[in-house]
Chain A
């Protein structure tokens, strides 16, 4: 392969997963992520891996549970309605402390919605995604290169913390083509002494399960799990700052919205408005520290989203409502234009942070 290849975001995820050592993919086609499955179908048989198109999303996520129990790297991918179907399995993975990589290339909703891009599964992804107390590590790429890099990172984090890592992309990120370098450092394999690989009569049985007969036992594992989540919150938050040094106004955006917003921020700077951008790369853990240091300096935060305003709640929490947080959005498969974001910045600058 050449130094750089021209890839769709979906293809970059698939190829990066293979490079990360994933040899088991289970899925069910749904636009706009079908290229992940198509790529796996072409490649996995050639490298001794498994591609299996399951009879449904629910079957696929439970196959992920099975393979993960044996300690192998495994993934599934879908788009919004399909992720809802996987909800039960996501909760079971969490309850059994199993690592997995799950990709959501979001489309417009709710319901069947449409096939154009969206970010309206933010709540679903960052609040766990199904029943019970649990979290997923949520990674939000904003370029095809990052689609690849965060996929590898996702496998590593999932193994390290024994939990699901989710790539939360959108239809545009999945479909757009950009040059990608796949020259990664190979990820470090993590020992998995808990895996069900056969005792060989040399150790006690390993049991992978999310059922607890005694409520106090179930309470104990929940508390322990949240201790682990605390470590993740302290160590794994990732974000990018853009023109934030002297910023008085702060745009907050991830994924495709961040690309649009960067253009708008650059335009606003030309007009003399001191505006910057914080781009959360991990949506859970939310990069609270990035906001803590802005408090008192920023007059208004503008959350740019392809949803009715979901991340905006995390921005309010992270900034402790120290300044107004306003929403600039499009939904239903529409994308905010740089002009729309620029107008929101100009309005904020005119108001001067007045509530």
Chain B
């Protein structure tokens, strides 16, 4: 897929934004020289892109992240070097934004610059197995809340519907109707469907624009 200079991942709390962001960064690094991941999550102190820090370093991907992520304190701070995001000389960025409208507020200060440059994608990551977004209507409500909070319109949808480690190929296939409905009601194109890498072969050819995910470290 072709990436704009900035790709923002937003969505409902726990929809899988971070895993999608990490994998997009590695995919993008295969095609672009200068790739950064910017972690602007001010909602959740756990499960951050920082979990992949060593892998980023090995791949030559720069990580911009609050020093408090994954520590023993919950400080919703933004990293000072986030201001480089809006400088086109800094190359490509994958932005991991915190969940819901609360997470999207973090974007406010850079949105005017993003709109001015107009070289961005803002993708809504959706998972219909999450309890508060079980259907297209509730998903659209969250989308509208996020757009209102950050002042940036979405440009696409990422279907990341999954049940965690127990997800079967059938579980993913049965969510396509939901994803198409979100697409139709929102008017934003469904860009790709993300699946855990072990399901990729089974689903290849059955789903358009399938994107394999290597999951970040698992706790237990």
Contact = CB atoms under 8 A, between A and B. Distances in A.
Contacts of B219: 172, 176, 335
Interface string A245-260: 0000000000010011
Interface in B1-58: 13-14, 45-47
Contacts of B163: 4, 6, 179
Give the top 3 A-B pairs by smallest Cβ distance, nearest first.
Answer: A114-B72, A31-B74, A179-B163
Interface in B106-141: 127-132, 134
Contact of B164 (A175, A177, A259): A177
8 contacts: A2-B129, A2-B134, A5-B129, A114-B71, A115-B45, A116-B72, A259-B220, A333-B72
A179 B131 CA distance: 10
Given A175-B46, A177-B164, A6 B130 contact: yes
A309 interface: no
Interface string B135-179: 000000000000000000000000000111110000000000000
A32 to B, nearest CB: 7
Interface stretch (A7-15, A60-68, A95-103): A7-15
A115 B45 CA distance: 9
Interface residues of A, number: 32
B73 interface: yes
Q: Is the interface of A mostly helix, strand, loop or mixed?
A: mixed
Contacts of B46: 32, 175
Given A15-B131, A172-B220, 15 more contacts: A4-B163, A5-B129, A6-B14, A6-B129, A6-B131, A35-B13, A115-B74, A116-B72, A172-B219, A177-B164, A178-B166, A179-B164, A179-B166, A260-B220, A335-B219
Contacts of B13: 35, 38
A287 B61 CA distance: 52
A4 B129 contact: yes
Given A1-B134, A116-B72, A6 B47 contact: no
Contacts of B74: 31, 115
A1 B47 contact: no
Contacts of A172: 219-220
B140 to A, nearest CB: 16
A154 interface: no
Contacts of B131: 1, 5-7, 11, 15
A6 B220 contact: no
Given A4-B163, A260-B220, A31 B45 contact: yes
Contacts of A35: 13
Nearest to A172: B219
Q: Is the interface of B mostly helix, strand, loop or mixed?
A: loop
A6 B72 contact: no
Interface in A24-83: 31-32, 35, 38-39, 42
B72 A5 contact: no
Size class of B's contact patch?
20 to 34
Nearest to A113: B72
Contacts of A1: 131, 134
A142 B217 CA distance: 20
Contacts of B45: 31, 115
A84 B128 CA distance: 38
Which has the most chain B C-beta neighbours within 10 Å: A2, A32, A116? Answer: A2
Nearest to A263: B220
Which has the most chain B C-beta neighbours within 10 Å: A5, A39, A178? Answer: A5
A320 B72 CA distance: 38
A5 B220 contact: no
Contact of B132 (A2, A42, A178, A179): A42
B164 A2 contact: no
Contacts of B129: 2, 4-6, 179
Interface in A323-339: 333, 335
Contacts of B73: 114-115
B72 A177 contact: no
A6 B132 contact: no
Contacts of B128: 2
A42 B13 CA distance: 13
A108 interface: yes
Interface string A148-165: 000000000000000000
A22 to B, nearest CB: 16
A172 B45 CA distance: 12
Interface in A268-320: none
